[in-house]
Structure 1
Amino acid sequence: MNQYVQIGEIKVKVPDEEPVAPDSSDCCGSGSCCPCVWDYYRAQQQAWQQAQAGQAD
């Protein structure tokens, strides 16, 4: 089942496995990307952590 959640201003699919951090070369460093690959990674990480916490109940 594809579950999506809103984390801040980013809507992400809840990953089945813990997300892997992007390589430093994946970020352009300009600061103008919205969302940045790091923002997207952090949103996926948070969604995954929330899903894991919900499964522990």
Structure 2
Amino acid sequence: MANSFFRNAFDRVVAARERQATRYVNGALMYLDDEHLTALGTSREELRRKGATRYVF
């Protein structure tokens, strides 16, 4: 019981951090121009649909 509780909590934390990292990367990719995004095989609309958070650093 204890192992499954901690494993479940850990898995949820990891999943949340993965979603946060994806939003961060998508936000960074939004700064690229359309030519570079096309070369990477994505578009602005696709990044918006996936979720993008722009961080100012």
Please state which band the TM-score falls in when normalised by the shorter chain: 0.3 to 0.5
Q: Name the TM-score, length of structure 1 as normaliser.
A: 0.41
Q: What TM-score do you get using the length of structure 2 for normalisation?
A: 0.41
Greater share of residues in strand: 1
- Which protein has the bigger helix share? 2
